[in-house]
Structure 1
Amino acid sequence: MRKYLKPLVLCISLLTGVETAWSRDLVLAISEGSSGGTDHARVIAKYQGLADAIGQSIDQKVNVVFIREFPALEEGLQNNRFDLAIARPSDYPARGMRDHGYQYVASARPDGQCLLIVPKDSPYQTLADIKGKRIVLPGAASYMAKFCSAELRDRGIDLTKERVERVREQGAVPFYLKNKFGDVGGVASYSGVANSLDKTGHRVLHTSVSQPYFPLIAHKAFSAAQIAAMQSALRALPDTEPGRDVLKSVGIQGFDTSTEKRLRNLLTWLER
């Protein structure tokens, strides 16, 4: 009888696919964008509580894996290597859904926006004032550059016809403005730059439309009931002290499970 056991197990594995694979621990991939000085141990400490909350909702152990580089994130989504992924910038989860079959779970609250900032003593008061001025943005391939460009496009400002200065990091935008290398700059509402405008002597000239921030997506093999269980657990996090600790650790206010349509439309908006 034993000689038939291994072929039988192999056959069952091939037939049941993910159900057999899920006898193992699940993987939650974490991407924090271009954050520089982080490491795997810090990311595990920061997100394991969230992984535990998700895992408890579906009776599975979920482990955190830090994905530092964007190519590794893209490759992992493309080849369905991750059971779950939460990532910024948001275009990666959006492509995971559109191109690679991942399912929507939630996004973080609050949403993300492009903030167009100027020095506090700048004479500019409206977007109309910045036409023909020097606009400082991150590299053209970056998510926030595309985000700000799409917002300005919708407001009648075509960046192909404007004077655009590119910086490698958003943190350089205030420096450029302070030293008169640019007149207005674009940064993410959730960035350290945005949280330090008073200190750097800048103000917000314009706030863009909101888009889903830090989305959480799941492998296509999860059932609708499992997705619903995860969503219920995420919505409930603010209701308990341990849940609030999880949110504080991650650095967000909560999870929004109603942003799927907007996330699915994000790439169309960016690429229009």
Structure 2
Amino acid sequence: MLRKKRWTVLSLLVIVSLLFAGAALAGTLQDVKARGKLLAGVKTDFPPFGFVDEKGVNKGFDVDIAKALAKELFGKDTAVEFVAVTSANRIPFLTTNKIDIILASMTITEERKKVIDYSIPYFMSGHLLLVHKDSPVTKYQDLEGRKVSTTQGSTGDIVIGKLVPKAERVKFQHNSESLKALKDRRTEAFVQDDMLLVDLQKKNPELKIVGWPPFEPAPYGLGVRKGDAEWLAFVDKTLTKMKNSGEYQKLWDAWFGESKDFLLKLK
């Protein structure tokens, strides 16, 4: 009788283990299909990649790529739920299954590769400085001993820490907070990715961009959970299909066409 009970308990453990293993092996692609929609982590304060318009609608280059993934999955680009993320929380949101993918102007770095996997590169960006028009700062080397707005979790923060260790980095959770600190003259510069600062400068004519050409350039990639090979293959296949069909170029022209002369080119 005791032996029979032991076999029953062992059988239950095996069944439970197989169920968990099956769930693990299923991966994100099956989870998304079963759910019927994609959970996409996008920024809401990083135009033209991710922002919310006056009607409260998510817009931007990354948002449109998320829609393209949803269309490839379900035949309609509306089968996607946008989850707002920041530079600091986007990876934790991914690793804790709050989102299926990061589409949030995320630079590919070796450090991040230890935690997540990246898609093929889909954009090339570098860093610039946003300052007041009367500022003496003309290049990142001038930031030594000065207060600089950075956004927590961004490569801009990391880059300035590396290139100008004597700069006083004032870290904020959101880009809007970093910008406000500069505008209020609590800091003397704001370092971030080139395309964001170009957009912000257009809306804030009292500011100017310095530091050309963009320094410490690196590509952006979409982020997926580590080891999720099937999902990553689907994402890469969709990006490649978009590039080959001309859909990617159409989106690129729509969002970046006015800035094409100075943007870094993805090789």
State the TM-score bracket (shorter-chain normalisation): 0.5 to 0.7
Say if 1:16 and 1:208 are closer, same or farther in 2 by CA, change over 3 A.
same
State the shift of 1:31 in Å. Answer: 1.9
Looking at structure 2, the residues matched to 219 and 61 of structure 1 have their Cα atoms a distance apart, in angstroms, of 26
State the shift of 1:243 in Å. Answer: 4.4
State the shift of 1:231 in Å. Answer: 1.9
Say if 1:84 and 1:196 are closer, same or farther in 2 by CA, change over 3 A.
closer
Instruction: Indicate whether 1:114 and 2:127 are aligned.
Output: yes
Instruction: Indicate whether 1:50 and 2:68 are aligned.
Output: yes
8 A contact 1:136–1:184 mirrored in 2: yes
8 A contact 2:118–2:221 mirrored in 1: no
Say if 1:250 and 1:83 are closer, same or farther in 2 by CA, change over 3 A.
farther
8 A contact 1:138–1:166 mirrored in 2: yes
**How many residues in Structure 1 have an aligned counterpart in Structure 2?**
228
Say if 1:234 and 1:83 are closer, same or farther in 2 by CA, change over 3 A.
same
Higher relative contact order (CA 8 A, sep 6+): 1
Of residues 236, 250, 255, the one that matches 1:231 is: 236
8 A contact 2:119–2:221 mirrored in 1: no
Instruction: Indicate whether 1:32 and 2:50 are aligned.
Output: no
TM score, norm. by length of structure 2: 0.59
Say if 1:11 and 1:248 are closer, same or farther in 2 by CA, change over 3 A.
farther
Looking at structure 1, the residues matched to 127 and 183 of structure 2 have their Cα atoms a distance apart, in angstroms, of 18
Of residues 198, 201, 209, the one that matches 1:197 is: 201
Of residues 117, 124, 127, the one that matches 1:103 is: 117
Counterpart of 2:236 in 1: which secondary structure? Answer: helix
Looking at structure 1, the residues matched to 119 and 81 of structure 2 have their Cα atoms a distance apart, in angstroms, of 18
Looking at structure 1, the residues matched to 157 and 77 of structure 2 have their Cα atoms a distance apart, in angstroms, of 41
Counterpart of 2:195 in 1: which secondary structure? Answer: coil
Partner of 2:83: 67
8 A contact 2:122–2:221 mirrored in 1: yes
Counterpart of 2:219 in 1: which secondary structure? Answer: strand
Say if 1:81 and 1:150 are closer, same or farther in 2 by CA, change over 3 A.
closer
Partner of 1:262: none
State the shift of 1:51 in Å. Answer: 1.5
Identify which range, 227-236 or 32-41, moves more after superposition.
32-41
State the shift of 1:189 in Å. Answer: 1.6
TM score, norm. by length of structure 1: 0.58
Partner of 1:3: none
State the shift of 1:197 in Å. Answer: 3.2
Instruction: Indicate whether 1:136 and 2:148 are aligned.
Output: yes
Alignment RMSD, CA only?
4.8
Counterpart of 1:187 in 2: which secondary structure? Answer: strand
Looking at structure 2, the residues matched to 76 and 150 of structure 1 have their Cα atoms a distance apart, in angstroms, of 21
Partner of 1:215: 222
8 A contact 2:130–2:189 mirrored in 1: yes
Q: Where do 5+ consecutive residues of structure 1 fail to align?
A: 1-9, 259-272
8 A contact 1:51–1:62 mirrored in 2: no
Instruction: Indicate whether 1:187 and 2:188 are aligned.
Output: no
8 A contact 1:152–1:158 mirrored in 2: no
Say if 1:64 and 1:158 are closer, same or farther in 2 by CA, change over 3 A.
same
